[in-house]
């Protein structure tokens, strides 16, 4: 199976978001070029001065067609379930391909790469576009760069290209997902011996802020106005973590940090809640950063594109998911779905894997979709 060979090769690249993805991008650029794509390369330096690469490619003439959207970065793999092979050493067992990124989302990239090769340039009445971004796992920075700088992306928007975001959905058609907001609140104190008077514990400034955040959290969990029942869970999934820098029990904390991750849903305005966070931070003399990475993703499930996708996939109804994708950045593309092989339950795990059957079926589905939207 060619998709399996590609997937194994892609898993072999350590493309964790904290390192450069230049090697895997070079490999993909060579493969795309070899099979008839014209490739646009868009590079940038991330906030840690690491060089990152986005690829936007096109095969075929005409207008419209189909775009496949993916990312080459993966989450860290500091712990792995076996010592027999590492996270970036692909292994096959029990009809599964194991390795970091096998499910999210190098297996999907392998499927589309295999599918796109099956169509000659002169078979395509409308083009195939292939997008591979960096930094999807850490804030959609690569996708944002594509939107701002890619000439081919502008072409897609102008000509009404349809798009598949190839994240793992077990080949279910997904019409909506949640967004993401990162919030960081920092309390400053002074480190010192807890038995003396010179220290000032930052946690004492943080505690009343946390009480306010707990009230907000409870409200979002219980009040229906903050819920969207088409999602599971139907809430903003307001996650909270707290840590300080005290090195020992008898040292006052010089800094205390509360980090929150909020997943806003389509149709719900989270700004009133964020204003309450701002007010509490100001009242308690805390530093505050609010980073809205992306809004929720929504396409009308009754739209022609979603309904056509359901017929092609032999699915009765489209679904929603609670994770985010680059689709949150591609707002100017009207017709788009999330659709890819593998289950999100296997993504980001210590034994990440994708079923070989999903690689086979994913390739078959992408072939079917290319034929439907690019060859008729």
pLDDT of 293 = 87
Both 248 and 151 in one domain: the answer is no
Nearest alpha carbon to residue 86 among 137, 11, 16: 11
Both 321 and 204 in one domain: the answer is no
Both 306 and 289 in one domain: the answer is no
CA max distance for the chain: 80
Both 152 and 172 in one domain: the answer is yes
Domain boundary, last residue among 275, 294, 313: 294
Domain boundary, last residue among 255, 277, 294: 294
Both 244 and 367 in one domain: the answer is no
pLDDT of 109 = 98
Both 44 and 157 in one domain: the answer is yes
Cα dihedral 90/356/297/143 (nearest 10): 40
pLDDT of 344 = 96
* Distance, CA of 264 to CA of 1 (rounded, Å): 40
pLDDT of 376 = 86
pLDDT in tens, the chain (376 residues): 899 999 999 999 999 999 999 999 999 999 999 999 999 999 999 999 999 999 999 999 999 999 999 999 999 999 999 999 999 999 999 999 999 999 999 999 999 999 999 999 999 999 999 999 999 999 999 999 999 999 999 999 999 999 999 999 999 999 999 999 999 999 999 999 999 999 999 999 999 999 999 999 999 999 999 999 999 999 999 999 999 999 999 999 999 999 999 999 998 999 999 999 999 999 999 999 999 988 889 999 999 999 999 999 999 999 999 999 999 999 999 999 999 999 999 999 999 999 999 999 999 999 999 999 999 8
Q: Supply the pTM of this predicted model.
A: 0.94
Both 221 and 286 in one domain: the answer is yes
Both 286 and 307 in one domain: the answer is no
Q: Which two tokens stand for residue 167?
A: 């994240």
Domain with residue 248: its CATH number is: 3.30.70.360
Domain with residue 21: its CATH number is: 3.40.630.10
pLDDT of 1 = 85
Both 219 and 95 in one domain: the answer is no
* Distance, CA of 168 to CA of 199 (rounded, Å): 50
Residue 191 · residue 358 · CB < 8 Å: no
Domains in the chain: how many in total? 2
Q: Which two tokens stand for residue 214?
A: 């707990």
Question: By residue range, what is the domain housing residue 321?
Answer: 2-177+296-374
Domain boundary, last residue among 277, 294, 311: 294
């Amino acid at each position: 199976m060619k998709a399996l060979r590609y997937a194994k090769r892609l898993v072999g690249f350590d493309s964790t978001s904290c390192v450069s993805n230049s090697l895997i991008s070079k490999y993909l650029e060579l493969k795309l070029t070899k099979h008839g794509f014209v490739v646009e390369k868009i590079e940038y330096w991330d906030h840690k001065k690491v060089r990152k690469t986005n690829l936007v490619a096109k095969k075929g003439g005409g207008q419209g067609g189909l775009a496949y959207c993916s990312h080459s970065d993966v989450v860290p793999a500091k712990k792995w379930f076996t010592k027999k092979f590492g996270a970036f050493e692909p292994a096959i067992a029990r009809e599964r391909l194991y390795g970091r990124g096998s499910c999210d989302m190098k297996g999907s990239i392998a499927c589309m790469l295999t599918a796109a090769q099956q169509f000659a340039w002169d078979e395509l009445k409308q083009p195939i576009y292939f997008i591979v971004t960096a930094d999807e796992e850490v804030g959609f920075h690569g996708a944002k760069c594509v939107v701002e700088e890619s000439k081919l992306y502008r072409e897609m928007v102008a000509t009404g290209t349809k798009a598949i975001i190839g994240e793992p959905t077990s080949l279910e058609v997904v019409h909506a997902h949640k967004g993401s907001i990162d919030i960081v609140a920092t309390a400053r104190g002074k480190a010192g011996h807890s038995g003396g008077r010179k220290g000032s514990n930052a946690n004492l400034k943080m505690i009343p802020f946390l009480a306010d955040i707990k009230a907000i959290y409870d409200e979002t969990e219980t009040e229906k106005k903050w819920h969207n029942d088409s999602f599971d869970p139907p809430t903003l999934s307001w996650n909270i973590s707290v840590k300080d820098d005290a090195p020992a029990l008898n040292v006052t904390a010089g800094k205390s940090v509360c980090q929150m991750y909020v997943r806003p849903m389509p149709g719900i305005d989270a700004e009133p809640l964020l204003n309450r966070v701002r007010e509490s931070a100001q009242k308690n003399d805390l530093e505050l950063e609010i980073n809205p990475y992306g809004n929720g993703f929504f396409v009308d499930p009754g739209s022609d594109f979603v309904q056509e996708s359901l017929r092609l996939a032999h699915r009765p109804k489209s679904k929603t998911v609670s994770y985010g994708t680059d689709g949150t950045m591609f707002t100017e593309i009207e017709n788009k779905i999330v659709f890819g092989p593998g289950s999100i339950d296997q993504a980001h795990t210590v034994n990440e894997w994708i079923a070989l059957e999903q690689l086979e079926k994913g390739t078959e589905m992408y072939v079917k979709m290319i034929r439907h939207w690019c060859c008729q």
